[in-house]
Chains A and B, each alone.
Chain A
Amino acid sequence: MKTIQLPIDEKAIKTLKAGEMALLSGKLITGRDQAHLRFAGAIKKGKKLPVDIKGQTIYYVGPTPAKAGEVIGSCGPTTSRRMDSFSPLLMKNGLKAMIGKGGRSKEVVAAIKRHKGVYFITIGGAGAYLAKRIKSAKVIAYPKLGPEAVYELEVRDFPVITAIDSRGKSIF
């Protein structure tokens, strides 16, 4: 199976084809509804974001709390569609890859094509399985959001399927 090192580079993105499975290793950031709302708000006001999203991969997730001695709790993807209205703006500002579950809007497909990015899906409802692929986790922005805070995660062999590739081809 194809393995991809994070941060993802443009060459690697070009090799990805819709429908292929791959394993990701390296660092990524998390963010879901409230983080997207805040990122978009900051960009529109011309403010600096609390995390650099240039070249980044964002994973749509709100994990369960970690038990003592564990890196993180259950950690599977949330529905990507709710992020659709924010994603083109984030991609315009450098975001390269997104990981979630389910389909995306036409606007997101167009943005992926325009910015030569990629949208991955991972295994929804397999939060315990995916937690085992996460090697470190720390909150890097919006700690008050609790489960919706932005984390930096280090993943190893994190399974994904390329759902929309950089040519705009989609599995849905």
Chain B
Amino acid sequence: MINSKTISRTVKDLCIEANLKLRPDVVKALKSSLRKETSSKGRNLLSILLENCSIARNERIPLCQDTGMTVVFAEVGQDARIQGDLTTAINKGVAAGYKEGFLRKSIVADPLIRKNTGTNTPAMIYYDIVPGRKLRLTVLPKGFGSENKSKLYMLNPTAGSDAVANSILKAIKEAGPDACPPYVVGVGIGGDAAKACYLAKKALTKPVNFLSDKPHFRKMAQELLAKGNKLNIGPLGAGGKTTLLGVNILSMPTHIAGLPVAVNISCHSLRSAHKNLQSSQRS
């Protein structure tokens, strides 16, 4: 049995951890970019981003003031037993994390009335039923400056690989200097419109050097990295060869009439944290 209080406590801790400690793979990518960057302004900005990461960790100040809309990926083992309501438990954890961690509450209850809920809930929760008895929780606080640059292209089934890559590049160009480059680009290809967007976001939970789990998409991701870094957008849009830290592509089957391509851009402060909870044998 997995207790709902354990779930809430875990989510609370993950919200705080993600917002204070930059993912090691992202730190590594920033450091590697700093070594390669030739623009002096770009190098200066990248070193400030690394200093920001140390201040955030050591002084427990959030990496970014936009502590995000809380996206939670919950992979629920079909043999796991959960005591209490899982969605309520996750939202309670988010509310507690944003209060205790002094994180910004950025959620409004209605898109037009726009009154702040004061708790950063509801979280955007995506459930997946998987084999086993584990509950895997991944918290991805997503800043909305970059979320606003999301794109969905419904291409023709005959469009081919170049058209897919060009659409992704177009989304990166349109984000330009606005969404805190260098970016990590999450891409979802296939499925229906909704699944493509879901995959694009989920791709951001993979390590920044993931590329793809399929050879043809790995190649596409590598080519996009090379092309993207020639756009001279650079750190914070001030120019330089560091425009992208990573391109991660996830794909799935799709319909004979279509080729959905979704792009979910993350700023350089790509934040996520995860934990597995195990359902005990006794339950």
Chain A interface residues (CB < 8 Å from chain B): 19, 21, 34, 61-67, 70, 73-76, 78-81, 101-103, 121, 123-129, 131-132, 146-147, 159, 161, 171-172
* Beta-carbon contact of B102 and A65 below 8 Å: yes
CA distance A80 to B238 in the complex (A): 15
* Beta-carbon contact of B64 and A79 below 8 Å: no
A121: contacting residue among B51, B104, B238, B268, CB under 8 A: B238
In the complex where A78-B145, A102-B179, A102-B237 touch, is A128 in contact with B105 (Cβ < 8 A)? no
Note all chain B residues with C-beta closer than 8 A to A132: 55
Note all chain B residues with C-beta closer than 8 A to A127: 52, 61-66
B41: contacting residue among A21, A34, A124, CB under 8 A: A21
The 8 closest A-B pairs by CB, nearest first: A102-B178, A124-B180, A128-B61, A129-B52, A74-B62, A126-B52, A128-B56, A125-B269
Output the least CB separation between A13 and chain B (Å). 20
Note all chain A residues with C-beta closer than 8 A to B56: 74, 128
The answer to whether the Cβ of B49 comes within 8 Å of any Cβ in the partner chain is: yes
* Beta-carbon contact of A129 and B48 below 8 Å: yes
Output the least CB separation between B261 and chain A (Å). 24
A123: contacting residue among B45, B61, B116, CB under 8 A: B45
CA distance A66 to B104 in the complex (A): 10
* Beta-carbon contact of B65 and A74 below 8 Å: yes
* Beta-carbon contact of A125 and B267 below 8 Å: yes
Per DSSP, chain B at the interface is loop
What are 7 contact pairs spanning A and B, CB under 8 A? A64-B104, A65-B104, A74-B61, A79-B145, A124-B64, A126-B64, A128-B52
CA distance A73 to B179 in the complex (A): 21
CA distance A66 to B145 in the complex (A): 22
* Beta-carbon contact of B236 and A123 below 8 Å: yes
CA distance A40 to B210 in the complex (A): 46
* Beta-carbon contact of B65 and A64 below 8 Å: yes
CA distance A66 to B67 in the complex (A): 14
Output the least CB separation between A106 and chain B (Å). 14
Apart from A124-B145, A125-B268, what are 20 other A-B pairs with CB-CB below 8 Å? Answer: A61-B65, A64-B67, A66-B102, A73-B102, A74-B62, A76-B66, A79-B179, A101-B180, A102-B237, A123-B52, A125-B63, A127-B64, A128-B55, A128-B62, A128-B63, A129-B51, A147-B116, A161-B41, A171-B239, A172-B176
Output the least CB separation between A105 and chain B (Å). 12
B106: contacting residue among A19, A126, A147, CB under 8 A: A147
Output the least CB separation between A124 and chain B (Å). 4
Interface centre among B52, B103, B106 (most CB of A within 10 A): B52
Interface centre among B55, B236, B238, B269 (most CB of A within 10 A): B236
A80: nearest chain-B partner, CB-CB:
B178
Output the least CB separation between A34 and chain B (Å). 8
The answer to whether the Cβ of B207 comes within 8 Å of any Cβ in the partner chain is: no
Note all chain B residues with C-beta closer than 8 A to A129: 48, 51-52, 55
Output the least CB separation between A64 and chain B (Å). 4
Interface centre among B106, B143, B145 (most CB of A within 10 A): B145
Interface centre among A74, A79, A147 (most CB of B within 10 A): A74
